[in-house]
Chains A and B, each alone.
Chain A
Amino acid sequence: AQSVTQLDSQVPVFEEAPVELRCNYSSSVSVYLFWYVQYPNQGLQLLLKYLSGSTLVKGINGFEAEFNKSQTSFHLRKPSVHISATAEYFCAVSDRNTGNQFYFGTGTSLTVIP
């Protein structure tokens, strides 16, 4: 089974500053990678996903993530954050070949400070 590590449980950042949320996964087998966002009292929404091709993936709300196979990482970035980005962010992995489930990280709580 896969394991997903989100290295920071909480990330405070000032408005308009850049932010990076880190995600590492355990296995070198072929995987699909996802980032989800959860706003307070809501379900999870897809931000972006990596399936194949270019290692830099762009998603909604100006977020992007870079797949690094050698480091088994999929870090999420945004050059300038707005206060509306305050939310919980989850990294997830599924196995390309045998996958019938997702493996989620424990989440990173992003707080944007005005």
Chain B
Amino acid sequence: NAGVTQTPKFRVLKTGQSMTLLCAQDMNHEYMYWYRQDPGMGLRLIHYSVGEGTTAKGEVPDGYNVSRLKKQNFLLGLESAAPSQTSVYFCASSAPLNRGDTQYFGPGTRLTVL
């Protein structure tokens, strides 16, 4: 049982390049999330999904796109990377939150945009 995995663990991009971060979970969770973590700002929600084929914007969605084509995967895309997107990105998954379930986090992806 791997839980939540993220690929890649580290990445360095140049301004304007694109990339996709992959999140996979093997817990059959309905809900999946993408956060970014910056010093002094805690975790900020970028996008989330409450089921296969659905996505919704979080607190800081600009510059990112997501897709949830399969229940176990949640992809985060940066179409044209900017230095402001240098951050640590965390994926999480959970059962529906109105049951009081917790979120399970991946180990993170450290992205640097030069």
Contacts and interface: CB of A to CB of B under 8 A. Distances in A.
A99 B45 CA distance: 14
Interface of B: 4, 31, 33, 40-45, 48, 50, 56, 58, 90, 92, 96-98, 100, 102-103, 105-108
User: Main SS of chain A's interface residues?
Assistant: loop
Interface residues of A, number: 28
Given A43-B90, A43-B108, A51-B100, A101 B43 contact: no
Interface stretch (A12-20, A62-70, A75-83, A104-112): A104-112
Interface of A: 6, 9, 32, 34, 36, 41-46, 49, 51, 90, 92, 94-102, 104-107
29 contacts: A41-B108, A43-B90, A43-B107, A43-B108, A45-B105, A46-B102, A49-B100, A51-B100, A90-B42, A92-B103, A94-B100, A97-B98, A98-B98, A99-B98, A100-B31, A100-B48, A100-B50, A101-B33, A101-B48, A101-B58, A102-B33, A102-B103, A104-B42, A104-B43, A104-B44, A105-B42, A106-B40, A106-B42, A107-B42
